[in-house]
Amino acid sequence: MTLAPPAQATPAPTSGPPAFTPGTRPVPPSPASAALTFAWRALLKIRRVPEQLSDVIAVPIIFTLLFTYLFGGALAGSPHRYLQFLLPGTLVMAVLLATMYTGVNLNTDLSKGVYDRFRTLPIWRPAPIVGALLGDTLRYLLASTLVIALGVALGYRPGGGVSGVLLAVALVVVFALALSWVFTLLGLVLRSSNAILSLAMVVLFPLTLASNTFVDPRTMPGWLRAVVEANPVTHLVTAARDAMAGTATLGQVGTVLLASAALVAVFAPLTMRAYRTRQ
């Protein structure tokens, strides 16, 4: 008795062209496409864990209310009058304090090994960093919107109208993105997110408090006035304040943009070097 040979399995028919043609490779994404993809990743993280925005929401509200009613009567005679001077300063302070979370989130991803996988991908090397920075723009816009909306509700009236407010917000966001490179570098070189938060407070509070956010520098002692006037945050607050009043000059805008470019020119290369050499 002879056994019949086993039947050959018939391959399932395929439809459409093959996924890959032998001898060809997929076209790698462009630098802009890769950076935007990682920016979208940052937005998805916020959508899935919205509680990480709690500080970004609470700080602008607390600062605007607290400083308006705490210092308004003593410094300007009434909270309403002081609000006209204070609000652009709290706008700057609230947004700049949010920049520290760029480094914190980066450090958290690094501790999980996420960026080790990113570095193996055939993409533009800075794309994960640049994308994370772009994604954090949502934090800055949210903080700006809360400060301005609350200020208007309390009686603030920008003399420059909507265009002046948009110019002020744009200047603050551009400077915040440039400053974020500092905390991105810290996220790469420091070993824990708690260390980043501690160091960020040491850096940001002197920068924002030793400025013209709360009082006119002309009321300060000479040595302190010199420090305040050399502080780049002072120039940012002045530009935002005058933009919202409708009196900003090209020199003020140019100073903020120049300071932002200087921050990027110094800290972006240092950040990318630390990113490439991190083990």
Q: What is the pLDDT of residues 100-123, one digit of tens each?
A: 888 888 888 888 887 778 877 888
Confirm whether 27 is domain-assigned: no
Total number of domains in the chain: 1
User: From residue 107, how far is each of 91, 111, 141, 154, 197 by CA, in Å?
Assistant: 27, 6, 23, 38, 11
Find the domain containing 217 and state its range: 32-43+50-277
Please give the pLDDT value at position 111: 80
> What backbone torsions phi and psi does residue 220 show, to the nearest 5 degrees?
-95, 160
Please give the pLDDT value at position 22: 59
pTM exceeds 0.75 for this model: yes
Per-residue pLDDT averaged across 148-158, rounded? Answer: 93
Asked if pLDDT for residue 6 goes beyond 90, the answer is: no
Contacts of 33 (CB under 8 A, 6+ apart): none
Give percent of the chain with pLDDT exceeding 90: 42
Asked if pLDDT for residue 46 goes beyond 80, the answer is: no
User: From residue 184, how far is each of 58, 86, 103, 109, 175 by CA, in Å?
Assistant: 23, 29, 4, 12, 14
Confirm whether 19 is domain-assigned: no
Confirm whether 37 is domain-assigned: yes
Q: Which two tokens stand for residue 237?
A: 């607050």
Distance CA 147, CA 124 (A): 36
DSSP symbol at 154: H
Confirm whether 214 is domain-assigned: yes
Confirm whether 167 is domain-assigned: yes
